[in-house]
Amino acid sequence: MTARPVALVSDTRYYVGPHLAERFAERGFDLVLGDPDAELVSRLEETGARVVSCTGHSNLNSPDDGEALVGAAINAFGRIDSAVMFSGQIVTGRFVNSTLDQLRQVLAGCVEAPYNFLRSVVPVMTSQESGQVLVITSASGARATPGAPLYSSARAAATMLVKNVADEVARTGVQVNAVGTNFMDFPAFLKASGATDPEVRAKIESQVPMRRLGTMDEFSSFCMAFLDGTSRFTTGQFVAYAGGWA
- Cβ–Cβ < 8 Å for 238, 162: yes
Q: Which three-class secondary structure state does DSSP give residue 60? A: coil
Q: How far is CA 243 from the centre of its chain?
A: 18
What is the pLDDT tens value at each position of the chain, 246 positions in all?
458 999 999 999 999 999 999 999 999 999 999 999 999 999 999 999 999 999 999 889 888 999 999 999 999 999 999 999 999 888 889 999 999 999 999 999 999 999 999 999 999 999 999 999 999 999 999 999 988 999 999 999 999 999 999 999 999 999 999 999 999 999 888 887 889 999 999 999 999 999 999 999 999 999 999 999 999 999 999 999 999 999
Alpha carbon 31 to chain centroid distance? 16
pLDDT at 203: 95
For residues 227 and 179, what is the distance between their CA atoms, to the nearest angstrom?
12
Distance CA 31, CA 6 (A): 6
Residue 89's pLDDT is what?
Answer: 80
Q: Is the Cα torsion angle 171, 172, 174, 176 positive or negative in sign? A: negative
Q: Beta strands of 16-114 (E only): which ranges?
A: 30-34, 51-54, 82-86
Is the distance from CB of 109 to CB of 87 less than 8 angstroms?
yes
- d(CA 176, CA 239) in angstroms, rounded, equals 12
Q: What whole-number distance in Å separates Cα of residue 156 and Cα of residue 142?
A: 7
> Domain 6-184+214-241: which topology?
Rossmann fold (3.40.50)
Q: Give the type of residue at 86.
A: F
Model's pTM, two decimal places? 0.95
Quote the longest CA-to-CA distance of the chain.
Answer: 61
Amino acid at 238: F
Structure confidence at residue 139 (pLDDT): 96
pLDDT at position 2 is 59
Domain positions in the chain are: 6-184+214-241
Sign of CA dihedral 157, 163, 167, 169: positive
